[in-house]
């Protein structure tokens, strides 16, 4: 079911509290605040525009196909389990890494992968910090970065998916928040 710019799968988030829990004990009571699409937009603005000087605008279309993709994943654990996934083509990843490091990149190398992993990490931390209750009850994993031409990232039956595509200069990237459990 689509609500307010995000996708709720299975109808399980709402105001449910689980056995013996109260709204104060659970993040479920503030799920609407946690998954507010503006939190992701503000996080992208905070990280990409403020820290990297990349003015971003939200797009409707997915990133254009490229020969090589770079995907970074930061896991979420604690009262909310899931992941933040940052995905871009190789050329956009090189442009973002150049903004971050002040160096130019012709191809995806270890420094570009590290930069994309750190961008994903900063976006995840920024998104999590938008809701103090979430920030206090949810930890982050270290980033994992996947590159290649033909791969799919599969997440089994998430309860919630928030996916936005952003464009900057002549690059494009996608940020997805996946939730597979909330307490």
Residue 62: its pLDDT value, please?
86
The beta-strand segments (E) located in the chain are: 2-3, 6-8, 56-59, 69-78, 80-89, 138-140, 144-148, 160-168, 171-182
Q: Spell out the CATH class of 2-9+22-182.
A: alpha beta
Contacts 24+ apart (CB under 8 A), 134-140: 134/27, 134/30, 134/34, 134/79, 134/80, 137/27, 137/78, 137/79, 137/80, 138/76, 138/77, 138/78, 138/79, 138/80, 139/76, 139/77, 139/78, 140/74, 140/75, 140/76, 140/77
d(CA 173, CA 167): 6
pLDDT block averages, 10 residues each, the chain of length 183 = 42 41 68 94 95 93 90 96 96 96 97 98 97 94 95 85 93 95 88
Nearest alpha carbon to residue 139 among 75, 72, 43, 46? 75
Residue 26: its pLDDT value, please?
81
Extents of the domains making up the chain? 2-9+22-182
Nearest alpha carbon to residue 111 among 124, 93, 125? 93
Residue 25: its pLDDT value, please?
66
Residue 151: its pLDDT value, please?
87
Q: How many residues make up the chain in this entry?
A: 183
> What are the structure tokens assigned to 151, written together?
């791969």
DSSP state at residue 102: S
Please report how the helices 110-129 and 90-101 are oriented relative to each other, as an axis angle in degrees rounded to 10: 80
* pTM metric for this prediction: 0.85
């Amino acid at each position: 079911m689509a609500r307010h710019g995000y996708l709720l799968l299975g109808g399980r988030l709402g105001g449910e509290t689980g056995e013996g829990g109260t709204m104060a004990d659970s993040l479920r009571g503030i799920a609407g605040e946690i998954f507010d699409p503006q939190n992701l937009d503000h996080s992208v603005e905070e990280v990409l525009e403020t820290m990297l000087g990349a003015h971003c605008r939200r797009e409707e279309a997915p990133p254009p196909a490229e020969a090589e993709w770079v995907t970074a994943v930061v896991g979420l654990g604690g009262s909310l389990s899931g992941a933040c996934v940052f995905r871009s083509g190789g050329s956009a990843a090189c442009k973002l890494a150049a903004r971050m490091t002040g160096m130019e990149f012709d191809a995806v190398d270890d420094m570009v992968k590290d930069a994309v992993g750190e961008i994903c990490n900063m976006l995840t931390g920024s998104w999590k910090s938008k809701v103090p209750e979430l920030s206090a009850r949810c930890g982050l994993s270290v980033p994992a970065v996947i590159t290649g031409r033909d791969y799919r990232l599969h997440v089994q039956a998430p309860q919630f998916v928030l996916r936005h595509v952003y464009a900057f200069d002549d690059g494009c990237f996608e940020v997805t928040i996946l939730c597979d459990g909330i307490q």
